Chains A and B, each alone.
Chain A
Amino acid sequence: MNIIVCVKHVPDTEAVIKPHPDGSGIALEGSNYVLNPYDEYAVEEAIRIKEANADATITVITVGPDDATKSLRTAIAMGADDAIHLNDPAFLETDSQGIATILAAAIRPLPYDLILCGKQAVDNDCAQVGAALAELLGIPGISVITELSVETGKATAHRELEGATEIIECTLPALFTAQKGLNEPRYPALPMIMKAKRKEIKTLDASALGLSPGDFAPRSRRLKVSSPPPRQAGRVLEGKVSEVVTEVVRLIREEAKIL
């Protein structure tokens, strides 16, 4: 069985987010980048499937700058077999649709039974690549799963809905996007980390994928990024109950403008 896991190298969730003063994007100087947490669930799920199927191989793929190899190595340290780095300066300017196009071009020539993605990347939170990729490959795409079981030629996944669990069966190959709760990702053992450091990573650019810039040109454009208005500190009203109540009503009317 061939499993492909698509991952993204994202700023650490504790990184301090500040928009550029001109609103053109987010200043991420001083952030460290990590393997996207939702992609970790995807990698872990792939490893668990491999542990139950001796013949399975796991290939992790990312679209990203030079530095993104770090996240590929994290995935290898966890237990992935191979890694492909789709790296081309032109790739950095595209949108979710473009990323899915690039991934699809890389995946098409490969044998695959199962594709796993995180449900979304924690940087831009678009949650589109998984679904778009399934569409481009023409395979079933089941998003936001919390449980997965794979048999010969088919798979069953659970999706948590509000107050209900949806159970979906589909044929393979298929794509699934991982939600928190799917599993508890492992912490890599040191010998695996050392092995991952030395692992050769295959790098492909646009021409190697047979793509021209027009194929993955962004179809959406970011206009502006700004901070939410700062939250004001809570206020404590003191005095007689009747006065406080009068003041609260006034504040609700005049400041919060709820009434």
Chain B
Amino acid sequence: MELVKQTIGAASTYVILYVAFAVALLLFIRGARSKMSVVQRGTPEGRTDRVRERITGLLRYVLFQGRLFKYPAAGLMHVLIFWGFLVFALGYAFIIFTGGEIQGRLSGIGGGALSGIYGTFQEIFGILVVVSVIIAAIRRHILKIQRLEINRDADTTLLLIFLIMASHFVVQALGIRLGEKLHGWTPLSQVLSGTMAGMSPAGAANLAVVLWWAHMFLIFGFLVYLPRSKHLHILFGPFNVYFRSLRPAGELPLIDIENAESFGAEKIEDYTWKSLFDLLSCAECGRCQDHCPAYATEKPLSPKRLLIDLKHELFESATGGDREADPLAGRTIEEDAIWACTTCRACQEQCPIFIEHTDKLMELRRYLTLMQGRFPSEATAAFKSLETNYNPWPIGWSERAAWAEDLDLRKLDEGEETDVLLWIGCAGAFDDRNKKVARALVGLLRKAGVDVAFLGTDEKCCGDPARRLGNEYLYQTLARENVETLKSRKFRRIVTACPHCLNTLAAEYPQLGGEFHVVHAMELLDELLRTGSLKPAGTVSATVSFHDSCYLGRYNNIYDAPRRVLDAIPGVTLKEMKKNRSSSFCCGAGGGRMWLEENIGTRINHARIEQAAEVGPDIVASGCPYCLTMFEDGIKEKEMSENLRALDVIELLDQSVGKT
């Protein structure tokens, strides 16, 4: 910069610099504001509570890019570009605010140590950014990684960053050629300057001045370009992390049925401002799509596509005019895509900036179901049965306790008390296969001397299938009745073998005034093993792969308890599937999909069974009745019954404990 000032004069340098900066800043603000204005069309939503937690999130997920490392290589690349960006941004801030380069400004401090450190950092990150940008281009154009669609936006950005870095290094190298002493360790600049030995000093000086300006104009250009590109995520991403949902993962927003006039998202403005902010923040990295079980099995749903399509709709609808006013569902987002989601939450778990994909689909389902009465026809039977028989199977409600008829299990009536209230769930009560699991659980709890009772025919479906299929009205009817029933009984805690019941009771009933201590059977059994109340004695020689159910793992963070239970069984060897824990792959039955036909693409349960077979276990174990059903069906349909069995972890433990 000193060279520039010497060449064209300090005054003109500053005039050009500040005028250009002012214009760029103005254009940047205009771009950003026009984007922000569309966000304001959303409905209100409070996202400013728990400030400390939100700020911690900024450090963890923005500064240290916590979630990006779920893809180690891509994560490293991204963090290097990001940190490089920060180092360089600091330099530009010095130029703008102090009128001189940072090394020069800092050289007086600590005998030049500070400027040396900065110079070294700048050089290293500069090199790493160049390397990362080249790798990013290779990943897109040569490796053609599927989740990264090739688009001009991404290429423009990569090219801009590359040119900014290239001009930086050439200017540095020319400086050395002209006898300037750089601060810190600058190996690449040194090497580059070595190639310029033949250049005349005057030519080098002219080139340096031209390139310095080019560099600055590229920076300003980037500033102008940013709010107009998908690289808006640089600006909005951190805010999106700050305003992320801190509600329980499994809690859908409650609808005020008595007072609301419309339900769900008919138009883009029916989404909350945060939901619209998500759309602007998306960097289109495709990690969501990469983990989507619906996408992986050729359903017409991609969580990434969903965001992009809604974003386009957001901007198109903002232009106003007499455009078509058809609802989003069916026009912007295909209905089959809306119903394809299993609400497995893999997309949200992967998103580096905490975009909430699932809720967007849920609002579309709510619109279709509540406003239009339109949903896959199979759901009608489930809804009607839930209305009259309080379970999604076509079985009379008075049969709910039949599974326990010969068990002498105590029914907890109004006003009565127990330590553990066993919440059976519809699967445990009505599905023959899962009745066995319920019976095994009762047996284990009795052996452990637990004081246990159940609600018999007073229990009703928790409401999860209705809620996830968009039928909030039916959900609330069932949930309110259950909350009343539970409030009229005394118990220390509720235990259930169904992660869907667990999630609904623990995460969603508080919305309706039902605050209960709810644990999953895995947690209780783990505890009973730890305290020695249960002693697995018999050997169960088997290689077991544990499948993390979505509503157990991703939704309720229960990953270790089932593994500890399996570990406690003599003879069991645990073999993890490639996709495990928070990256687990859905069985296909969540989100009410249990009650719908799967007739597009291939089957999700088949895909998961194949993933299990890859690691060759004897048993695929889970802690969810839906998963168990899906795996049993999958194993049968794929004719793998000879080598693979599906069991609930409860049954495996029961086999071992029962052998004493």
Contact = CB atoms under 8 A, between A and B. Distances in A.
Contact of B373 (A14, A15, A16, A188): A188
A32 interface: yes
Nearest to B258: A194
Contact of A184 (B371, B377, B385): B377
A4 to B, nearest CB: 24
Interface string A180-210: 0000101111110110000000000000000
B372 interface: yes
B373 A186 contact: yes
A234 interface: no
Interface residues of B, number: 26
Interface residues of A, number: 17
B389 A12 contact: yes
B397 A32 contact: yes
A171 to B, nearest CB: 34
Nearest to B261: A191
Contacts of B372: 189
A30 interface: yes
Nearest to B472: A190
A34 interface: yes
A14 B395 contact: yes
B388 A193 contact: no
B513 interface: no
B389 A16 contact: no
A190 B370 contact: yes
A30 B384 CA distance: 17
Nearest to A14: B396
Interface in B236-264: 257, 261-263
B371 A16 contact: no
Interface in B365-419: 369-373, 375, 377, 380, 383-385, 388-389, 394-399
A31 B390 CA distance: 12
A194 B396 CA distance: 27
A13 to B, nearest CB: 8
Nearest to B390: A32
A196 to B, nearest CB: 12
A64 to B, nearest CB: 17
Given A14-B394, A32-B397, A187 B380 contact: yes
Interface string A1-40: 0000000000010111000000000000011101000000
A31 B396 CA distance: 8
Nearest to B375: A187
B121 interface: no
Contacts of B384: 34
Interface in B469-518: 472-473
Nearest to B385: A14
A190 B398 CA distance: 28
Nearest to A37: B384
Given A15-B396, A16-B399, A30-B398, A189 B389 contact: no
Interface string A102-132: 0000000000000000000000000000000
B371 A190 contact: yes
A188 B380 CA distance: 11
Nearest to A184: B377
A190 B473 contact: yes
B327 to A, nearest CB: 13
A190 B257 contact: yes
Interface of A: 12, 14-16, 30-32, 34, 184, 186-191, 193-194
Given A30-B397, A190-B370, 12 more contacts: A12-B389, A14-B395, A30-B398, A31-B396, A32-B397, A187-B383, A189-B370, A189-B371, A189-B372, A190-B472, A191-B262, A194-B257
17 contacts: A12-B389, A14-B394, A14-B396, A16-B398, A16-B399, A31-B396, A32-B388, A34-B384, A34-B388, A187-B369, A187-B383, A188-B373, A189-B370, A189-B372, A189-B373, A190-B472, A190-B473
Interface of B: 257, 261-263, 369-373, 375, 377, 380, 383-385, 388-389, 394-399, 457, 472-473
- Closest CB pairs A-B (n = 7): A190-B370, A14-B396, A187-B373, A32-B388, A30-B398, A12-B388, A189-B373
